[in-house]
Each structure stands twice: as structure tokens, then as C-alpha cells.
Structure 1
């Protein structure tokens, strides 16, 4: 899985709006509420730190008077705390609400210890990707993936050619609809790849040799404030840099593997999430098979654990 197509939104980067790109309250139904949310989002991103009022003003894009008023109320209500140096951090009330909210996301709680065990076992970072409608969201990350796009809150569209592990086991009608939105030049390969993913149990994301620097540069441009037409053109160029997955006769002595993803299913068998290992290196065929087996086994254990908990 890698963010290569469509207007993916990096929730981690976009949580705190840039005042140069959006005026205070622009697009907000309730600007005062929006300002409070921006402050809380900022503090939550630096949960182990204390931020000065000046930094909050700068990064949240608020006036000093507004930020001071928001923080004074939040601190009085226990949502934030203020230390002797006048710096702010998250408060116990916010922490309490956060812990209560975790009950609404049992899969993450079930998955996290398994992700940690897998990362220790295979020696690479791993993450949990969950389906949210027609998007995939990175919800837990263990380790420090080398790919800059892998971070908590990263949102990707469920669009060809990525996120194949979410489609490979879908009903034929869903696979057909998904393939219909793919570049016509890739449809035959994607059809074969989906069959191979079902057979071996996981997808593999690979890149054409020496394309990574160019891909990162293009991805950065795509996520910048540009027109929809230019974003689509960039997506097309990025697509041309990708070789979609590996078919059995394409595996060589060494194989470039960015990520490897295995499905997590609900009680009805639908794929609702994926365990994604992130070697971002070249692996022998045996190393690739071993990583695939370990990642798939972890996804199966999470599936079973999620059913037991549910």
C-alpha cells in the first residue's frame, strides 16, 4: 500500500490549517468552535510537550487575544493545563474523554499488541490501515517507517491501483466496479494481481527502480494547494512510475518491496482493515515469502481476537 493515486489527504499534516491558505473560520459552520478544535488538535499533536502561547498563536493561525481566551476557558474546564512558565498542554479531562472514546474503536485496541509483536519479530515498522467508507485510514503505527507518508491519520482513497488487499476478496461485482475506475492500461494486470493476492494472502507494493525520489517529489506537489486538473495529471505521472505488485514469475534474486499488506476480516468475512509491514528494501524471494507469512498470520490473529472481543 502506497499513496500514489488521487487527492489523498494527510490528516496529520492538515489537522491545523495554515493561516496563509485559509482565513480564520473560513469554511467553518461555527468559527468559535472551529478555533477551539484547532487548539486542541495542535496540543494533541504534541501531547508530551508544553507549547508556549506564541507557538500556539503561530501554528493554529489565531490572534494572540483569541488564543489566550480559548486557552483560558479550556484550562478553567480542565481540558488543558498551564505550567508556571505559561506554556500549555493537554489536561486530564481531555485524556479521560480520549480513553472513553477508545471503546468505540475496539479493533485498534485488539491490534496494537499484535502489531508490536510482529514488528519485533520481523524487524521492520508496521501499521494498521482501516477502511472508512471509500477511504483507508492509517490508525496505528509501530516503529518509524522510512516512507514519509506513513503516519497516523493518513487518509487514502480506495482507488486503483492501491489498497488491493481490500478489494481482492470482495464480491465479483465490487471488484468489477473497482477495476472499471482503473487506468485501462492497467486493468488486465490488476485482474491478475487480485487473483494472485487471494492465492497467496497479501499484496506487495513495489516501485520501479530509482523512482522513489521522483515519486516523493511528485506526491508532495499533489498534496499542495493545486487545481483538480493538475492533481489528476500528477496522479497519472505517478501511476506511470509504479509496477503493480509481483506476479509469481516476476520474483527474482532480489525484489524491491516498499510495503506488504494482509487483510483483517469482520465476522462476515469482509475485509475491514489490513496489517501492513514496511520493509522498504530489497528482499530475496524467501525473505518476501517469510514476511508475507508472518504478516498474514498476524492479520489472522487480529481477526480472531476482534471476533472474540466483539
Structure 2
């Protein structure tokens, strides 16, 4: 959805080009003929023809001569790699995520806050899996969403807490202080979310910073306090107790000792305390490796 706060004038012709690329990006395994593209995107057929012809000539689309269908082209590969490099995501980062994903047989991801939106920079999934998100996807960055991106940076944390929340919140300072202290000492954050909560985060992807009232109300039922659903080892009641874990995250730092990215393991199942600790050790090691790739170093708490 377009952000109404974005400065400057929009360009309808450009929006139509973006619509074609976005549509094909959402259906990467399919091919579409001109008539179907025009119909699905509600474009005049001559307009759609001009767009796909130009994109094909530039290599951003490929046209199958036999059935006259279109799909994404090779020029987007180079463009995507350059975009990742501009955000300091290099091939070595993907290799690190691949090792992490293979070690724990789950999805490993790298994300950062880009232009005030949480953006997925890289993703490695186990063979045959599909977490339902894609690289480049983004969603609003405002309390209670995004704690993992500011937890290890005092200035960023204060700025984030000052933002207008996406939902009405009950802020329990002592709980948040405990979360900050323990997660900084441990070097990782464990989020416990219900399946409904995970679906809500997926629904939020691509939305503007202003959420619909119905979605705000539904979020409010699931997440009403910052840090409320964070797992803390100090609160564990026994080694055999199992916890429904959504995500485990660790920070990546730059050479100014500032948190600039988050590396995460998508869990989506119950783990014991010892299993959480094992996953976290591997994740923190990956975060340290990614920090080293950036020439960064950890702050001293």
C-alpha cells in the first residue's frame, strides 16, 4: 500500500510498471499472457503491451516465444544483488544463513529497518519449505513490533519507544527493563507467539504505518505489552518444560558498535529450555560472523 506521508508527486505510469513487476514477483513460478496480465492488473491492453515490451527489451522480463507468456527476467538478478550490497548484504551473508538453516533444519533470515520499515534482506529455507514471506517484504516498525531491532541500542530503543504504537499498549516498565537486561546479557531474544499471532504479522506485511482499525483491535488482543511474550530463561520452571517459540533473534553490529541488522531463526514449534539454548548459541555465533563481515564489533554492556 502506498504511504500517504511519502513526499513528492507520484507517477501513475511508473506505478503501472511497478504493478506489473510486483504481480510477477508474487507469482514467480507462473507465466502470464498479455491478456491475463492486463485483466489481472486492470490495465488497458495497449498500455500493458507497451510496459511488458519495454521490460522485455531491457531484460527485466522474459517472453516465451512459443506460448507468448511473460515471467521475470535475468536483469532483475543483478539489480537485486546490487540492492542487497547497498544494504550491506553480501554473498557471504547468505552462506552464513545457509549454514544456520542446515544446522537447525529451519528458516534463517536477515532483516533490518530500512526507511522506517522492517525489511527482510535475505532468507534461506530448508528444501521444500515455504514460510510465506519473501525477500524485500516489509511491515510497520512501531511498538510493539520491532523490539528485536532496537534491543541492543539505547538510542534506537528510546526513539522506538517514542513512536506512536500500532496498537494501544500497557507498558509495564519493570518487565521491559528485565527483558532488556537479560537479553543483552544473553545476546539473543526469544519470542513466543501463538499461530494467530504469526498470521497477524504476515497480514501486516506490505501495509502502511497506519493499520486498519480491525487489525489494530486484533493485534491488541494478542500483544498488549512490550516484551510480554518474550521468553526469559530466568523464568523457566524446569528443564523439561516446553515453550512455544516463534522466533529467536540476535543482533548484528557495525564498526560503530551499533545494531544494524537482526539474524533470526524461524522456529514455529515447542522447544525445551536446553533446545532453546542450543539454537541460541548457533544463532549468536552466526550473528558474530555477520558482524565480522561488516567489520563491526559488539558494544560493551
**TM superposition score normalised by structure 2:** 0.78
Q: Distance in 1 between matches of 2:223 and 2:52?
A: 45
Report what 1:138 is aligned to.
Answer: 120
When residues 218 and 203 of structure 1 are mapped into structure 2, their CA distance, relative to the original with a 3 A threshold, is closer
For residues 263 and 101 of structure 2, the distance between their equivalents in structure 1, rounded to whole angstroms, comes to 11
2:94 to 99, 108, 112: 112
Among residues 153, 156, 170, which one is paired with 2:153 in the alignment?
170
- 2:184 aligned with 1:203: no
Contact 1:261 1:276 in 2 (8 A): yes
Displacement of 1:186: 3.2
Q: Over aligned residues, Cα RMSD in angstroms?
A: 3.3
Tell me the SS of whatever aligns to 1:159: coil
Q: Which structure 2 residue ranges, 5 or more long, are not aligned?
A: 3-7, 297-301
Q: As a proportion of its length, which structure holds more helix?
A: 1
2:293 paired with 1:272: no
* 1:216 counterpart residue number: 199
- Counterpart for residue 80 of structure 1: 61
Is the Cα contact below 8 Å between 2:119 and 2:137 reproduced in 1?
Answer: yes
RCO higher in structure (CA 8 A, sep ≥6):
1
CA pair 51-234 structure 1, distance change in 2 beyond 3 A: same
Equivalent residue, structure 2, for 1:31: 12
Give the SS at the match of 2:294.
helix
What's the counterpart of residue 234 of structure 1?
Answer: 218
Say if 2:137 and 2:205, in contact at 8 Å, map to a contact too: no
Distance 1:212 1:297 in 2: 28
Partner of 1:245: 230
Residues 130-152 of structure 1 deviation map (CA, whole Å, 9 limit, x = unaligned): 1214332112111167764x432
| Bigger Cα displacement from structure 2, 125-134 vs 198-207 | 125-134
Question: Counterpart in 2 of 1:291?
Answer: 279
> Per-residue deviation at 1:166?
2.3
Separation in structure 1 between the aligned mates of residue 181 and residue 142 of structure 2, nearest angstrom: 17
Q: Does 1:255 align with 2:274?
A: no
Determine if contact 1:160/1:178 at 8 Å carries over to the other structure.
Answer: yes
Q: Shift of residue 297 of structure 1? A: 0.3
In structure 2, the partner of 1:161 is 144
CA contact (8 A) 1:262 1:274 kept: yes
